[in-house]
Every structure is written in structure tokens, then in C-alpha cells.
Structure 1
Amino acid sequence: MADLQDDLHPAAEAGRADEPYPQEAVVVGPETYEPVSDPDDTPLTRARAVLAAHPVADGYSGLAGALRRLPWYDLDVGENAVDTDVPRLRKGQVGALFWALHLTEGQDGDRAVGATLEQLDLAKTVVAAHDEGLRPARTAGEVADARNCGRVAVLFGPAGAAALGDSLSVLRSLHLLGLRVLTLTGTSWAGAAGLTRFGEEVVREMNRVGLVADLSGASAPTIRRALALSKAPVLFTRSAARTLRPHPANLPDDLLGEVGEAKGLCLVPLTAEQAGPSVRDVADHLDHIRTLAGPECVGLSGTYDTGSAHPQELHDTSCYPRLIAELLRRGWEESDVALLTWGNVQRVLRGADFTAHAAQQRRPPSTATIADLDR
């Protein structure tokens, strides 16, 4: 399906005819899958072959925040002070990366809006300064263009709900500046009791502009209401299976089933705290979620550069082939691996853009305020 908003946000340098592709570039169709040949027939060789055609779309990176603490860095040649740089992204066969813009606790109102704008500005500056390896992207089409030109696509978000300052005008402005994902938790309108009337209007307006809802860490009432209300697929950017690891951000089996029914996407974080201390533990979570929610509803979230400890063999962004090799040893079909690494995130991005295109034909920008709806 052609991306419906490319004309609204044209991609710069989207593969000019006079620009040869770098050697590492791989041209892939958005929804195609072809089995790969494996002359050596080893799981790691097969993993690298699958990832060459269907690279990892990593659902959460703390790199933007980590770079703020460094006086100097160069991601193109390699940067030991962080878990992520261009050489390791290439070695790990990462094709897209979501850069989190989450705030420190206690920031709200105008301070939260300003801090989010500062982080967004920094993230865009970093990407522009490393344009031989990174490229900003908003849509599924732009993500594919970046990959086809040999760059890693960077999508901005998730940001915290406090970044809106309880204003739908700020929501629209952040979207125009490039924000792609918003986490619905930690505010008066998205809390333990669920979404208020204003919170429901936030979800509708996110659908209208094309912002993807992130429900990791949200309360069960908020999750259920958002699943029922949102016309676009939702994300869980850092949620594993609570049955296997009792972490509050992990999802219980009943909610995982509901995520599957709604065709949402649960991205399993590669952290020891949420998934376990080994690559096998991470694979257990992926197996469990695939069984309950379906192969179209599970993905990967590196959660690198967040200060979290990572499982053995998965210490930085270069290690993804080891995880994919473990899944292939377990009998995962290569088509399911292709969905896990690349296809499912692309589906969510397309769904958000399709929903936005349809919603903009039906309703104008919302002028509702929290005072109007949550008296």
C-alpha cells in the first residue's frame, strides 16, 4: 500500500536516480518476503541472511538522552561511551530506530513542553550531523527509502504524555516537528483510572494527525480503553510477558490476547530486568507473545542507552543476529522472523498514516480543552 502522507511530508534525498546505492544498501519491498538461501546452514548465517533483507526496526532507544551527557561524540566512526553507533547498527543489521524523548520524573506543564522540544531539537541535530549513516523518517515509505539508500531510519518518539501540556494544539505542533509516538501515561487524563474524556479526545486527535499511541506502563483501564477507541494500531514500546517476568510494565496474558485481537504491537525490551538475564529468556518472551497475540503482534525493543542492564550476548545494538539465530534454532519460520524484525513496525506505521488520511476527511482539528471536558 502506498504511503498516504508522503506528499505532506516529502522525504529528502529519497533515492535520487543519479545517486548510486552504497554497497551495504538493500532494496526491499514494504510487504514482500522471500526465503533466503543458506549455503552454510547454520542459525547465525541464516539469521544474518534474513536480516539483510528484513533488518531490525528497534522500537526504543535512549541514545538522544545519553548523548546529552557527553561533551563530544562521533557516531559515524564509533562511540564507546554509548551502546549505539553507526558501525554497531550496521553490524547488528538495524534498519530503523525509535529515539525516545521521555522526560525525567517531576517535569510537567510548560517545563515538560520545553524539555521535550529541547530533546527533539537535539535528536534532529544529531541525525543531521551523521547523515552518512542516519536519516530522519516519519512514515513507512520514508523508513524504506532510508534503508534503500543505506542509512538507518530514525523516528522521533516515544515522548511522554506530559509533553503535551494538556493541549491538543501542542500535540499537533509536536507532530509537525517530527514526533511520531506518544506514551499515554503519567497525566491526569491517562492514569490509574483510565482515560478521561479529554484523554479520549487526545487519542482521537492522535489518530487524526498520525501519532502512534504507546501504552507501555499504562494502567489496564487505560490500555483497554485505548485499544477500543483507537482506529490505528497501538504500540507497547517496552513490554514483555508478565507470566514469565513479573515486571509492572510487562503485560499479563489476558491483555496480550486483547492486543492480538486489536492488532496492536508488543515490542519486547532487551533488558535483564524485564526479559531475563540470557538471550534464551528473551526468546521465551517472544515465543509466549507470538503464541498469545499472533506473529503480527510482536516485535523488538533494544532499550539500549537507557541505563538498563542487558541479557548476556545482547549487550549492544550489534548483537541482534544472535537473538535471531536463537529463534531460528527454535524452529521459527523465516517469514515470522521477517515480521518480527521489520514487517510489524511497518504495518503499524502504515496503519497510522491510513487512519490519519481517512480521519482528516471527516473532522477538523479538535479545539477541545481539558477544562471543557474534565470539569
Structure 2
Amino acid sequence: MADLQDDLHTAAEVGRADEPYPQEAVVVGPEEYRPVSDPDDAPLDRARAVLAAHPVCDGYSGLPWTLRGLPWYDLDLGESAVDADLPRLRKGQVGAVFWSLHLPDGHDAGRALTTTLEQLDLAQRVAAHEAGLRPARTAGEVVDARNCGRVAVLFGPAGAPALGDSLSVLRSLHALGVRVLTLTGTSWAGPAGLTRFGEEVVREMNRLGMVADLSYASASTIRRTLVVSKAPVLFTRSGARDLRPHPANLPDDLLAAVGEAKGLCLVPLTAEQAGPTVRDVADHLDHVRTVAGPDCVGLSGTYDTGGAHPQELRDPSCYPRLIAELLRRGWEESDVALLTWGNVQRVLRASAFTAHLARERRKPSTATITTLDG
């Protein structure tokens, strides 16, 4: 039913439209949320009230790889060996999370597809059997999970090396539920930018409804993908390079380009990329919002990846502290709602709308890297 509802939107909403995309309502009882306008209310109470109606959609979690190394775990009751178990997700008012299928640095490239599928198999089994989770593939299914009191789990990003330069594998990964692919680490998406085959990968992703992740991609790849893709792109782990020099952070000219293309930059809550305090993370969110626009900034917890986090944001239960800091800085509650929930929903819906139109005019691509790149 969620997929059918997605298809009922008008064609004018498809692709990179200038008009705002409709936001999905989250069903909450009156005791859960009330508009807060009293300036004397504590920012933390205001933060929890906003999150009750507009929960966090966390753009990146390394949990699948972490779970591979555990002999036993119980995410629903609580698990000290991970950052993002269900009690902490609920306390942080997280409504959805993307589970990364990335492989660690130095992993055998020849086993990229096999290891990606092993992670996906584990992720699907965990998401389907833990009582507080529910797998999701569409924006509608994300909302359905939230309205049932579950945390929606979306699968991806996966790494482009898993494709093995095959569009057939791309289609198979999409059929298995992968919804985000990171365009790095291949000959067709490298320092020189997208090759002809790389552009065909992006077009096929548009036809399928798979979102391109450009964190850690070269500037040339980013700029060309913004031109080729008819659907919004994601940066699952990128802050502002003007505030903190890091290879995955974006300079202002690229942030502005992302804003023009209606893409989405998800700021990571890591000390390495954003800084050691909650104020540093808020500085990045302020900067991205100013340069790219309030429709183009989101949150990426980056928990269970082995990275260090600001002390005040040590796990997902601390999300209200970050939102409270933004409210202290004068963020409107409507902009916070976009940051936590609305912007990711827009990208998911825009990707589905674009795919709906693309499938009407484009058959599955039979191109190969040999025929296009020689």
C-alpha cells in the first residue's frame, strides 16, 4: 500500500522540481506533541516535543558490520557492545536509520560483492526479527514503521566496488532492498570524475530509484553527478570544509551547488569531521543551512563505525541535546523538522517520483564498461 501511495503523486513532483515536495505526516497523539512557543520553556523540553512529531532520520549507521563480530546480541533489550541499540534509539527519538553496507578499508576488493551481500543478509534478518525495528524501502514504509512504533531501517549506502562494473548487479542489489550507493572506489567514478559508464550507472540508478551518495567522492565526480542525475543526491557523511578540513567535508562552492540541485548534505556527528563538542556540530549545521539552504541539511549519526563522537553526543540517545542547542541558536521549529525528518523524506520521494517517470521512457540498460569506456 505504501508503494501505491507513492505512485499517486502527480508527475509534476517527479525529479528535480523547484516546487517543495509534500511532507508525510507522522501520526502522534495530542499527549505526545504540542506546538511550543513559550520562550521560557527549557530548550531540551522543546527539543523533545519537536522530535515527538518529527523524529530523527539518521543517515548513516555502521551497525551491520559491528554485529558481524558479536557472538550474541539483543538490540531490543539493550546491547552494551554497540552504540545504537533500541533503548538508545528510542531515547534519542530516532524514527528511521540507514544501515551502511560499506566495507572496511583494506578489504579484499575481489570479495566486495560477497561481503556486501553477507552484510545485507545479516541486516535484513536483524531488522525483520528485532521487535522494535522494521525494514523499509520507500518513504511511505518509513512513515508506516514510525506510526507502528517501530524504527524504520533502510539498507545502504553500499559501496560501488560491489557492482563489479555490472549494471545487472546494480539492479539485483536494488531488488534486494539496497537504496543508496556510494560513487567512489571504482575506475568509472574516480579523481577524474564520471566516465561514460559512470554516467550510465547514475542514469540506471535514477530509473531504479536508488540514491547516489557522494561523500568522499572527488569534486569532478560530484559536479558531473549533479548534472547527470535527475533525482536528488545524498552526502551521507559530509560537513563544512571551511570549518574543518577533512576529505569528505564540502567547500562552500560545492555546498552551494548541492543546494541548487536540491541535494542533501548529512552532517556527521563525529569529532574528526565536525569537532569535539555539540557546539561544533551545530556550527556545521548552521553553515550548511546558510550556504545550501534549510532544505538541504540533515543528520548522520555515524554511530557504530569506530569513530570518536563529541562527549555530549556519544550515542543516539543524545540527539535531543543537539536539537536543544539549535533551538538556543534561534532555529525555527519548522527548520528543525526539515533537518530531522522532512529533508530525507523529500529525497526518498523525489527519487521514487523520478524512477516512476524514467521507467516509462527507458528500458533497463544493457551497457557495459567495455562498450562505453573501451
Whole-Å separation in 2 of the counterparts to 1:205 and 1:38: 49
Q: How far 1:36 moved relative to its partner? A: 3.8
1:168 aligns with 2:164: no
Residue 23 of structure 2 corresponds to which residue in structure 1? none
Q: Counterpart amino acid of 2:269?
A: L
8 Å Cα contact 2:232/2:351 also seen in 1: yes
Deviation string 1:214-248 (CA, Å, 9 cap, x unpaired) is 00000000000000110000000000000000011
In the alignment, what sits opposite 1:96? 96
Matched, 1:157 2:152: no
**CA displacement at 1:105 relative to structure 2:** 3.2
Tell me, what secondary structure is at the counterpart of 1:95? strand
The alignment's C-alpha RMSD in Å is: 1.9
Name the CA distance, whole Å, in 2 between partners of 1:192 and 1:223: 10
Aligned-partner Cα distance in 2 for 1:62–1:90: 18
Q: 1:354 maps to what in 2? A: 353
Does 1:43 find its partner at 2:43?
yes
Correspondence for 2:257: 258
Matched with 1:180 is 179
Q: Residues of 1 paired with 2:290 and 2:105: CA distance? A: 35
SS of the counterpart of 1:60? Answer: strand
Question: Counterparts in 2 of 1:75-224, with a 5 A limit?
Answer: 75-107=75-107, 111-130=111-130, 132-224=131-223
Amino acid at match of 2:196: R
Taking structure 1 as reference, are residues 110 and 38 closer, same or farther at Cα in structure 2, changes over 3 Å only?
farther
TM-score, structure 1 normalization: 0.91
What is the alpha-carbon distance in structure 2 between the residues aligned to residue 352 and residue 293 of structure 1?
Answer: 19
Query: By how many angstroms is 1:104 displaced?
Result: 2.6
Amino acid at match of 1:359: A
Q: Secondary structure at the match of 1:274?
A: coil
In the TM superposition, residue 113 of structure 1 has moved relative to its aligned partner by 1.0
1:39, CA displacement in angstroms?
9.4
Q: Which amino acid aligns with 1:260?
A: G
Q: Distance in 1 between matches of 2:3 and 2:127?
A: 23
**Are the counterparts in 2 of residues 4 and 353 from structure 1 also a CA contact under 8 Å?**
no
Contact 2:6 2:349 in 1 (8 A): no
Distance 2:37 2:27 in 1: 17
Match of 1:299 in 2: 298
Aligned to 1:61: 61
Change (3 A) 1:329 1:39: closer
Corresponding letter in the other structure for 1:337:
V
- CA offset at residue 35 of structure 1? 3.6
Q: Distance in 1 between matches of 2:166 and 2:221?
A: 19
Q: Does the 8 Å contact 1:207/1:352 carry over to 2? A: yes
Q: Deviations over 1:61-96 (max 9, x none)?
A: 001111111111000000011101111100000000
Letter in 2 for 1:101: L
* Greater displacement, 107-116 / 255-264: 107-116
Q: Partner letter of residue 102 of structure 1?
A: H
**3-state secondary structure, aligned to 1:57:** strand
Structure 1 residues 5, 362: closer, same or farther in 2, change over 3 A?
farther
Letter in 2 for 1:111: R
- TM-score norm. by structure 2 comes to 0.91
Deviation readout 1:127-173 (Å, 9 max, x if unpaired): 1220x200000100000000000000000000000011100000000
Do the aligned residues in 2 keep the contact of 1:109 with 1:165 (CA within 8 Å)? no
Q: Map 1:259-298; keep pairs closer than 5 Å.
A: 259-298=258-297
Q: Is the 8 A contact 2:206 2:351 kept in 1?
A: yes
Q: Distance in 1 between matches of 2:202 and 2:107?
A: 22
C-alpha separation between the residues in 2 aligned to 1:35 and 1:361?
43
SS at match of 1:188: coil
Q: Could you tell me how far apart the structure 2 residues matched to 1:303 and 1:315 are? A: 11
SS of equivalent to 2:334 = helix
User: Which position in structure 2 is the counterpart of 1:329?
Assistant: 328
Whole-angstrom CA distance in 2 between matches of 1:284 and 1:6: 35
CA deviation vs aligned residue, 1:3-45 (integer Å, no higher than 9, x gap): 56768xxxxxxxxxxxxxxxxxx616xxxx9844669611000
SS of 2:311's equivalent? Answer: coil
Q: Secondary structure at the match of 2:65?
A: helix
Question: Gapped runs of 5+ residues in structure 1?
Answer: 8-25
Q: Residue 354 of structure 1 aligns to a residue in which SS?
A: helix
For the residue of structure 1 that corresponds to 2:58, the secondary structure is strand
Secondary structure of the corresponding residue to residue 248 of structure 1: coil
Unaligned runs of 5+ in 2: 8-25
Residue 372 of structure 1 aligns with which residue?
A: 371
Percent identity between matched residues is 83
3-state secondary structure, aligned to 1:313:
helix
